[in-house]
Structure 1
Amino acid sequence: MHSLLLGLAAALAWGIHDLCVRFVSQRTGILPAMLTVFASGAILVATAAFAFGDWQAMTLPAAWLAGLSGAIFALASYALYRAFALGPVKLVAPLIGAYPVLSLGMAMLQGQPVGPGHWLAVAVVAGGIGCIAVFSTQDDGSPATLQAAAWGLAGAIGFALTFAAGQAATQAGAELPVLIVTRLAAILILLGLALLARVVQLPGREVLPLLCLMGALDAVALGLVIYSGTLPRPEFASIGASLFGLVTVVLAWLLLRESMNRAQWISVAVTFGGIAYLGF
């Protein structure tokens, strides 16, 4: 239950983060924005890690797993941005939201008891998230391409592997040192991509405060999911965190007054029903 609550808190943070993306996506490039977000988050994590982190408990296996988690997280985040840039929400969102199925599968391979009810609940959560997008009355005009589907699937696989590696790292070492290693590895990967694409530049000053806020939200969310690796059933945190897309839609309705139809509200109720089942 505690792991699930951490995942829901992470979903809230990532949902707010994605709402902020609406305001910056048209004002700066993907890689510069992601670098700023990841760097500002690293400053926050580093402050906590060097002040309160148990560095003596950090092991070499934990460091390797944390670095792997960060590298995959950077690539998964880039895939997410690319998928939404290429294809419609109703195509990409179900693919991204389906990553808990992979998380539960990896938990089963690690010896965790996974029953038919768990699989059904995960299917309900993933399906509910997808229906939120499918039943949207808005059309972004993006073509539904195989390339977008490939990027979306890559993002889903990446997020599942990110959380699995990060949670394994916390089991092998201390939580805060693991988080800073994860964040630094992600920054190095993004910096390498930016250098290859020759887009190393700072975003405009008008979006820097918002990007820093996004960095804090992203760091807190990833930290909560990775920290759940010290608790029973950490895969439930990954499942709960998958609600970030649903949170974004609801916040857009609440704060931006965007419309939601009856089918979308039913999808919200069904999704929370799946989460409630996992809680018990």
Structure 2
Amino acid sequence: MSALALGLVAAVCWGFHDICVRFLSQKTPISACIITVLTTGLIFHLGLMTFTGGFQPIESDAIWLSIVAGVLFVIATFGLYAAFQRGPVRVVAPLIAGYPILSVAWAVWMGTEISALQWLAVLAIIIGVAVVAALSDTSTDETPPLGPTIFYSLIAAAGFAGTFIAGQWAADLSHDMPSTLVTRVLAVALTVLILIVTKQSFLPDRKALPWLIAMGCADGIALWCVLSSGTLPNAQYAAVTSSMFGLLTILLAWVLLKERMTLPQWGGCVVAFAGVGYLAL
């Protein structure tokens, strides 16, 4: 499977994750959602490694890169939730959706040749996702000052880009399954520490637990797809296409929750998928 396809699988999984967050966050503390999803993702990954025989020794350099990826993933996750909690979506979503620019820029820095048309395709995907997500925000409520919101959004974008860069690098140096395991263990441990220090809730609502487990499995598949693409050509495109999770969340809301899609949003979908189509050529 190509890096582009793995990124799309990740986008679908994270899209499902986010559509669940839409209705679970109303009744379950965000902290409980995060720790339950991350822990389930870790258990899922351990099960996958056991089933596939993925337990292999990894290089020390790959361990350190995986640890960095785990720290950045936690930073990105909390930054994302903090940004969306403050809102508005029309500001937050485009900023976070821009993280693939950093991934592609890093690939260029490392010597990968990216043509002008490929850059345009990447920008088309980001713009398409941003348009669809921004237009989904119809709220008119007063929002907190934009300065901290923009800061949290940029932290989330940089965190996701750094997670994928470090994780893919680790997978390229060693084996993707154990490298991703190190990232997940570190992410869970760091999240537990943060919740203890900040005295936030660990326990989700019992009715929400099955959905959170499903979200954790989806998150496990998504992160593994993006990080494992580090062994493939054009690994940066996994990060690019995975950024479409925001667009797919809104499409899933249209299909499952019967939420309205406007003509400009459909136009954003066309632009984004046209960009993916070009990169797939």
State TM-score, norm by structure 1.
0.96
Greater mean alpha carbon deviation, residues 113-122 or residues 85-94: 113-122
What letter matches 1:120 in structure 2? L
Please tell me whether residue 152 in structure 1 is matched to residue 153 in structure 2: yes
What letter matches 2:94 in structure 1? P
CA distance in 1, matches of 2:54, 2:43: 18
1:182 to 1:87, Cα distance in 2 relative to 1, 3 A: same
What letter matches 1:49 in structure 2? M
**Offset, 1:277:** 1.2
- 1:233 alignment counterpart: 234
- Deviation per residue, 1:81-130 (Å, 9 max, x gap): 11000011100000011011111000001111112112211111111111
CA distance in 2, matches of 1:191, 1:259: 38
CA distance in 2, matches of 1:199, 1:238: 31
Alignment of 1:88-107 (within 5 A): 88-107=88-107
1:136 to 1:201, Cα distance in 2 relative to 1, 3 A: closer
1:248 to 1:142, Cα distance in 2 relative to 1, 3 A: farther
> Which consecutive unaligned segments of at least 5 residues does structure 1 have?
none
CA distance in 1, matches of 2:212, 2:54: 29
**Offset, 1:141:** 2.4
**Offset, 1:172:** 1.4
CA distance in 2, matches of 1:49, 1:66: 16
| Percent identity for Structure 1 against Structure 2 | 39
- 1:256 alignment counterpart: 257
Count residues in correspondence: 280
CA distance in 1, matches of 2:57, 2:173: 9
State TM-score, norm by structure 2.
0.96
- 1:87 alignment counterpart: 87
Kept in 1: contact 2:28–2:205 (CA 8 A): yes
CA distance in 2, matches of 1:87, 1:19: 17
SS at match of 1:33: helix
1:262 to 1:55, Cα distance in 2 relative to 1, 3 A: same
Alignment of 1:191-270 (within 5 A): 191-270=192-271
CA distance in 2, matches of 1:137, 1:91: 9
> Which consecutive unaligned segments of at least 5 residues does structure 2 have?
none
